[in-house]
Amino acid sequence: MNDYSEKGLLPAGLADMLPPAAAREARINRTLMDVFAGNGYLQVKPPLIEFEEHLLEGSGAALASKMFRVMDPVSHRMMGIRTDITLQIARVATTRMKQDPRPLRLSYSGQVLRVYGSQLRPERQFAQTGVELIGPSEASADAELILLAAEALGALEVENFSIDLTLPTLVPTLCKELGIDPEIAVSAREALDHKDAVALESYKAPLNEILIKLLKAAGPADSAIEALEDISLPEAATAQIEALKNVVAQLQQSAPDLTLTIDPGEFRGFEYQSGLSFTVFARGVRGELGRGGRYCLMDGESASGFTLFLDSLMRAVPRRPADDRLYLPFGTSLDQGYALRQEGWKTVAGLAPEVDIEAEARRLNCGQFLGPDGITKLS
């Protein structure tokens, strides 16, 4: 245990975030929470652990195998460490905040833990920041969320981001309307999700033709909608396309510069979504920046929301120059240091008389020091 390299060793997928990354992540999180608060979203903070059965309801079941569990010696019941915060917000909305007026706008920010990382996201702890809009089922609610995500990314100066819209319920609805066997319906959905044209061709008409058309429709919003309009679909599937068109029209009217794409067959990660869903990407940045969509609360209430992933955002947000640190030589008065900090300086105080103030300032990564003639920049 005296071996420092061993002492510093952390379990796979867990990491110490060091300077300046940790402050940068905190700044990104602040900006997001500020944008959410500016749009009337109220912060809630559920605990890191709670009774496991509450974390395994609905969409929580999908992450059951990824949840750390501990015994609660107080209640003698099993508790789980949360793998996702969305489900906790849904719990809060349907219990403690059930009586609050709808639309209920909630925001959150916190850490989640998973027993295993995924191939795309090897981290086992990551930070989630997001919002849920509880109550309304109107297209304006879907549009508000997408515009909110865009406003948040704009505040972070993320460039070249796009919103990829999907309808995870489209293929299941279509198959039901066409009287397709449920097992075949699942395989068709998966084939479309995997963009497996050969498999899609193999279904019986008219399903195969529709699936191929859905596959080809994926792309920029305008051309995708044009292609979707050309597909002859049964009633309920058509209604979903109409709802999508409605949201896209609202988005294009409000934010004509927003880059929107549509992939009507994308399904992965949206298993519990009940309507329009979306993923946020930025050009040249590995991993999704976030994802969201419409779902139903346990009590049947409509809800929609999105989560942004801070690890991906760290790769997408432009870096700012390092803080300009100001060295205050030993003996600088408290009042003087305080006044400089109020001006916005990050001060670093000398704790012992210096032999060479300039060298000491440099050693402590300060770009300037307070000299007899005021603030002196180091060359």
Q: Which of residues 105-164 bind a copy of itself (CB under 8 A)?
A: 105-106, 109-111, 113, 115-116, 125, 136, 138, 140-141, 144, 147, 151
Mark residues 328-347: x for contact with a copy of itself by CB under 8 A, - for none: --x--xx---x--x---xxx
Least distance in angstroms from the C-beta of 154 to a copy of itself: 9
C-alpha of 283 from chain center: 16
Q: How far apart are CA 34 and CA 115, in angstroms?
A: 31
The tally of CA atoms less than 13 A away on the side-chain side of residue 235 is 0
Q: Which is nearer to a copy of itself, 218 or 251 (CB)?
A: 251
Contact flag: residue 18 with a copy of itself (CB under 8 A): yes
Pick one of 64, 236, 359, 364: the residue that binds a copy of itself (CB under 8 A): 364
Least distance in angstroms from the C-beta of 220 to a copy of itself: 21
- Which range touches a copy of itself (CB under 8 A), out of 71-79, 223-231, 237-245, 281-289? 71-79
Contact flag: residue 95 with a copy of itself (CB under 8 A): yes
268 labeled binding residue = yes
Contact flag: residue 46 with a copy of itself (CB under 8 A): yes
For the record, the structure tokens of 113 come out as: 């833990």
Q: What's the angle, vertex CA 268, arms to CA 266 and CA 270, rounded to 5? A: 90
Q: Which is nearer to a copy of itself, 140 or 274 (CB)?
A: 140
How many CB atoms are closer than 10 A to CB 115?
14
Least distance in angstroms from the C-beta of 166 to a copy of itself: 22
Contact flag: residue 47 with a copy of itself (CB under 8 A): yes
For the record, the structure tokens of 260 come out as: 């929107």
- Order of all β-strands in the sheet with 302-309: 42-43, 104-113, 125-135, 302-309, 290-296, 277-282, 161-166, 259-262, 219-220
The conformation of residue 133, written as its DSSP 8-state character, comes to E
Residues 161-220 that bind a copy of itself (CB under 8 A): none
114 labeled binding residue = yes
Q: Which is nearer to a copy of itself, 67 or 241 (CB)?
A: 67
84 labeled binding residue = yes
Which sign, positive or negative, has the C-alpha torsion 258, 264, 266, 272?
A: positive
**How far apart, in Å, are the Cα atoms of 19 and each of 195, 238, 299, 319?**
42, 52, 44, 13
Contact flag: residue 7 with a copy of itself (CB under 8 A): yes
Least distance in angstroms from the C-beta of 333 to a copy of itself: 7
For the record, the structure tokens of 238 come out as: 């058509």
8 A C-beta contact, residue 160 and residue 284: yes
8 A C-beta contact, residue 102 and residue 134: yes
For the record, the structure tokens of 62 come out as: 């999908």
Contact flag: residue 38 with a copy of itself (CB under 8 A): yes
Least distance in angstroms from the C-beta of 347 to a copy of itself: 6
Q: Which is nearer to a copy of itself, 208 or 254 (CB)?
A: 254
- Order of all β-strands in the sheet with 77-81: 49-51, 77-81, 69-72
Least distance in angstroms from the C-beta of 253 to a copy of itself: 9
Least distance in angstroms from the C-beta of 230 to a copy of itself: 31
Least distance in angstroms from the C-beta of 368 to a copy of itself: 13
Q: Which is nearer to a copy of itself, 96 or 216 (CB)?
A: 96
Q: Which is nearer to a copy of itself, 268 or 346 (CB)?
A: 346
Q: How far apart are CA 15 and CA 13, in angstroms?
A: 7
Q: How far apart are CA 85 and CA 82, in angstroms?
A: 7
Residues tagged in the binding site annotation for L-histidine: 84-86, 114, 128, 132, 268
